[in-house]
Structure 1
Amino acid sequence: MPHHQRADARRNYARILAVAEREVAAHGADASLERIARVAGVGSATVRRHFPGRAALLEAVFHERIEALCARAAASVDAVDARAALLDWLDGFTEYAASARGMAEALAQDRLVEPERVSACSVQLEQAVEPLLRRAAESGAVARDVTAADLLTLVTGIALATERHADPAAEGRRLLELTVRGISPVR
């Protein structure tokens, strides 16, 4: 949100975002924009002025956690064990994507419904994991043809498959472990 906005516009933005976070957590990526506006006490035009589309709103909702995942990847890029660093990051991403209702759906919509339009969240995550993946591939821990996009698609699929599970994060981690045995078996 630009800092040059009027104080009331900044308050509206913050209120809309807070309501959107709750609504997405409760209803997923298809949370009603009209309900978000109503609960935030603003008109739907105000919501659209701050967030020109659903994708922009979802990117804002998930922004902080995406930043934390990117920072986690950057902090691990020089780890001695490249495989462990990559798997640790994937585990953290899987846990969050499985437990943050709406995130996996938002990422999946980008890749499946509109593959030519990839969200800023997807781009950030791919760029963050790329160095970890490259180091793991160079060490022989991961097949060289595995891409960052493949890993995001994999985790997104796991998160979508587990979202209605009693403990989505635990089930997501379990499925990731099963998958890792296939893409990067311990030697």
Structure 2
Amino acid sequence: MADRSTEARPAGRKDARRNYERLLKAARAAFAEHGVGASLNDIARTAGVGNVTLYRHFPTRQALLEALLGESLRGLRTHSDELLASPMADEALTTWLAAAVEHAMAYRGLVDALVDSLADPESDLHATCQAIKAGGAQLLARAQRAGTVRPDLNASALFSLIASVAWASERAPEHYGQLLAVMLDGLRPRKGGQNT
């Protein structure tokens, strides 16, 4: 006679995977419409599962964001690694900065979640955000060594600039290009004098 408990396991894993995918699909739609502050209860309801199932898969909102955005966030880190091989340090940094700002604008309220996660070691997004910051810091240091970026800027200030442009552009998308251009212009060393 077959062991019914072992027969049930593959079906249980299949159901769990299906619920996981349905939750991600529902979260993607909810975040696109309402921002990252969308109701988790509504996400569970749309996915056709209970709250217990949602929290079993994603114990925190940050865990849900990590599952939803982790791959693209890690892609941003990979992009910084690829750009380190570019012969033009200045272009590499500006290309990556534009990509970082655009990524932070993927969902309304995402920039706040990313900034909070960067500062909170307990956040499910913390390690991924730290890796992105490290990649950006490498590009910044390289551009500074090349003399194309002001020497008094550090990685924390650079990420504050990224967050500021993303936050402002989220609220006034028509100003995105101008805000990005002003940020990039502000990175340049002053002509004929030291940056202070």
Q: CA deviation at 1:164?
A: 2.8
Contact 2:23–2:54 (CA under 8 A) maintained in structure 1 = yes
Equivalent residues, number: 177
**2:181 matched to 1:177?**
yes
**2:25 matched to 1:18?**
yes
Partner of 2:98: 91
Contact 1:82–1:132 (CA under 8 A) maintained in structure 2 = yes
Structure 2 unmatched runs, 5+: 1-11, 192-196
The amino acid across from 1:66 in the alignment is: L
- Greater than 6 Å deviation, 4+ residue runs: none
Partner of 1:154: 161
The amino acid across from 2:110 in the alignment is: M
TM-score, normalization: structure 2? 0.80
Q: 2:35 aligns to what SS in structure 1?
A: helix
Contact 2:111–2:163 (CA under 8 A) maintained in structure 1 = yes
Q: CA deviation at 1:89?
A: 0.5
Higher-Rg member (1/2): 2
Change (3 A) 1:35 1:60: same
- Aligned-pair RMSD on alpha carbons? 2.1
* Aligned partner of 2:78 among 63, 71, 75: 71
Q: CA deviation at 1:99?
A: 4.2
Change (3 A) 1:140 1:90: same
Asked which structure has the greater RCO (Cα within 8 Å, sep 6+), the reply is: 1
Structure 1 unmatched runs, 5+: none
Change (3 A) 1:53 1:127: same
Question: Once the two structures are aligned, what percentage of the paired residues are identical?
Answer: 38
